[in-house]
Amino acid sequence: MKLVLASSSPRRRELLPLLGLPFEVIEPEVEELTTGDPREVVAANAELKARAGAGLAGPGATVLGADTDVVLNGLVLGKPADEAEARARLRSLAGRDHEVHSGVYVVGPAGARSGTEATTVGFRRLGDDEIDAYVATGEWRGRAGGYAVQGYGSSLIASVDGDLSNVIGLPLPLVARLVGDLQTS
């Protein structure tokens, strides 16, 4: 199987080697959906990326697209634009639970498989000084939801219910299941 990851996320590239399959990376440009039911949005965006990637990769390749959204009270939280937005984001996440949704879409010669994963993450209460300290690290830049659970952001977390790799940005157990299913079909 010639596996191609259609993603510009460094986190996805770092996690995918666990599958034990060699893979290439391409970065298709797609117009992502931004509104709608979170689960449907990540599923649709994953398919958009996989199909755009398949167009670039050519026939014979099995292409993996993924999309992750951080959702608070039903609203999708994007990437903070600046420090003020990062600060406001952390303030809204502090002391409560939010959800991380990922969509995964795999398409190749053997057909297509898709799925979604959801993990509930609880932030502890945060003081203004703690929020300032986290914002000062710059770790929030380019991160959906404004934090990195595998970095300094780990110190903001009080609970995780569900797959943790999903919160980093690629739900590996789901990916392994979908890819494995295509390999044996």
Residues with catalytic annotation?
A: 67
Q: What is the x/- site pattern for a copy of itself, positions 115-134, by CB under 8 A?
A: ---------x-----x--xx
Burial class of 53 by CB neighbour count within 10 A (0 to 12, 13 to 18, 19+): buried
Interaction between residue 23 and a copy of itself (CB under 8 A): no
On whether the CB atoms of residues 106 and 62 are closer than 8 A, the answer is yes
Based on the shown chain and the rule CB under 8 A, indicate whether residue 137 belongs to the binding site for a copy of itself: yes
- Paired with 102 in beta bridges are 68, 117
Segment lying near a copy of itself (by CB under 8 A), choices 27-35, 46-54, 59-67, 169-177? 169-177
Q: Closest Cα to residue 66, out of 104, 94, 113, 9? A: 104
Of 2-10, 58-66, 75-83, 155-163, the window that binds a copy of itself (rule: CB under 8 A) is 155-163
Say how far apart CA 175 and CA 19 lie, in whole Å.
8
- Residue from the set 165, 178, 179, 182 that interacts with a copy of itself by CB under 8 A: 165
